[in-house]
Structure 1
């Protein structure tokens, strides 16, 4: 459960801003590392093959074919951050969740995103992907908050989890299909 200071007054907007900045920062680091260290060593077709392989494995997990233990730093952001105040504490908490480096991941799709940003995405697409990751996390927590604490949101999520996973997996396939197509076409 999120710390209560995130939801007091306007703090949820600082938290959401932190999610966006965290996602942007992670994608900035990934695309910088990819373009400077990895991509010069990997042929484009190999990089595309790696991303496609990651996608297929994760898609099979998302569709429930098997379960993987995904790499993640499965620790919650400490509540001591709330001592930083309503604004800075919420911003800090959001940044850590938005960066994806200290949080639980309930889906493998962010790993596909990370692989694509690291290995094939251009700078604009990579940075947009990072902001999109942060925005997706913000949408989830803001929609959860809008429902209140009566359990309806959790029940709805449980009821539609399989459909949401399928939709998000197909959306990821479409997005990466177009990025990979332009990457391979550009390299040919």
Structure 2
């Protein structure tokens, strides 16, 4: 299936989830992430702020957990059409950008590239780790700028069941996918 078709299909599937379903699934994804990856104090995690109108995974659960355990938290911000990584703290001030996304007020790029984990938004991920996002290419460019040792982890309500037919040569696949029911590894097969 083509990315455009998958993007439309999974946006609709996501929008069909009730608020309660999305919250319960988000909690299960969070639990699966923590149980599998066991994040520790001092680690560096890049994670997105959810776009509520798109019913994205509630990553506030993750962020609150990380901040209370002295895990360093970084979030994306688009500056001059480039995704930068801003470190946040419990007192960080946020604003809504032109796309309706909550971002930190700060435009100071952390300069960090050796994240332990990069928790990545997506609409769909296939069985090879290829992802369908919103089509802007921000994360592919971001993935090129980070350490090869940074684990790129997608989070999604849905498990993969279709292949992406139009993967581009510049697309960078994920290393893992966390869903409400599974943690899938693309580094040599399913785990």
Structure (1 or 2) with the larger CA radius of gyration: 1
TM-score (norm 2): 0.24
**TM-score, reference length from structure 1:** 0.24
Structure 1 or 2: more strand by fraction: 2
